[in-house]
A = this chain, B = another copy of it.
Amino acid sequence: MIGEEPSNIRTREAAERDFIVRALRAVDVSESDANDVANVLVAADLRGVESHGIARLDMFYVRRIEAGVVNARPQYTALSDRPTQFALDAGNGLGHPAGIFAMRKTIEKARENGLAFATVRNSNHYGIAAYYAMMALEHGLIGLSMTNSTHLAVPTFGRQKTQGTNPIAVAIPAGEHAPYVLDMATTGVTFGRLEVSERKGKQLKPGWAVDAEGRETLDATTAMTKGALLPLGGYGTDNGGHKGYGLGALVEILCGVLSGGLFGTSLGLDERGLHGGTVSHFFGAFRVDALRDGDAFRRDLDRQLRTFEDSAPSPGADRVVIAGEPERAFTERYRREGVPIDPKVWDGIDEMAKRLNIDKLERFTVG
């Protein structure tokens, strides 16, 4: 979790991947789809985005399949398939295979025709947005990924939840330098950040959340139970809250409305507190070398990124960091030291393993 020391109970990347596949196979997900989900969840844990990794496997994916609100064996329908566009109905299947399928199509079309966009509707939670944008990198393409999500945030001047954390991810291939990978919720913070504050008994920062009436609140429990998140830029317009709201609404339009999926009213829970088929995604890919010599671009991007890195830090800061860099550092570290999993999450996945009658995930302790 952000701002916390990683758990010293670890597992290995390969073991985690294998465990996730076994869990999903146990609820009738195909081998290929289970592999897709495992790849995205393991990538999240490796990148230090624990909230989007194996922590969600049971509640978000396995249980929703068991409850019949997400289809283990969805039927995909191509709604549009043109040289530079692809629109998919994901048949209320898992979001990760749908996202990977659509992004592969987008990449294929972009390689052939320079650039391409895709929408996916009737899908489910797809994990970290960056995963799909980064798929473009190995093809030398710029990748784009967005998703709408359960409504947790108010608009500027509002008290009703009208949008989710609605992330935007962009990945741009560099030369010798690591790629530029931006993956940002369009809210100021995510719900996970409120959870951490509550667990630690700490007040929220101004600009993070509102209470049920839409007034700013610093109380984590109030924000989580009755309130809502604020857009990036915070309360009102003084610090650009309307910009975060505007970006979140943009994601809502490009995903929910442009795909023909659900939008507008809360992407809500059913009577059992479970979601299904309510989420839509938007993907893009484009070729750099259609606009400019690819080698020259990559060399110049290296220089641009080094300009950021080499610029003088503010007092108390080590140095200026580039988008995607912390996640890359986590990945290297956790590949070496093992993937940390929170003790509470360990309890949950052990219980799930027992319920599904599969072998437990192997673990070891560090430190």
Contact = CB atoms under 8 A, between A and B. Distances in A.
Contact of A314 (B159, B256, B323): B159
Nearest to A180: B253
Nearest to A208: B239
A291 B182 contact: no
Given A258-B291, A290-B84, A311 B160 contact: yes
Given A115-B115, A307-B264, A158 B313 contact: yes
Contacts of A115: 84-85, 115-117
Nearest to A206: B239
A257 interface: yes
Interface centre among A82, A172, A239, A322 (most CB of B within 10 A): A239
A292 B188 contact: no
Contact of A233 (B156, B157, B233): B233
Contacts of A94: none
Given A249-B323, A311-B158, A313-B214, A290 B258 contact: no
Interface string A305-336: 00110011111011111110000000000000
A240 B155 contact: no
Copies of chain A in the complex: 2
A315 B244 contact: no
A264 B323 contact: no
A82 B290 contact: yes
A79 interface: yes
A166 interface: no
A225 interface: no
A160 B319 CA distance: 11
Contacts of A127: none
Given A188-B239, A214-B313, A259 B182 contact: no
Contacts of A239: 188-189, 205, 207-208, 232-234, 239
Given A157-B314, A215-B314, A301-B253, A87 B292 contact: yes
B80 A312 contact: no
Contact of A292 (B232, B233, B259): B259
A314 B258 contact: no
A113 interface: yes
Contacts of A242: 321, 323
A246 interface: yes
Contact of A189 (B210, B240, B263): B240
Contact of A300 (B172, B263, B317): B263
B263 A158 contact: no
B208 A292 contact: no
Interface centre among A172, A188, A303, A314 (most CB of B within 10 A): A314
A82 B114 contact: yes
Contacts of A263: 300, 303-304, 307
9 contacts: A85-B114, A85-B291, A113-B113, A115-B115, A154-B314, A158-B308, A158-B320, A214-B312, A264-B307
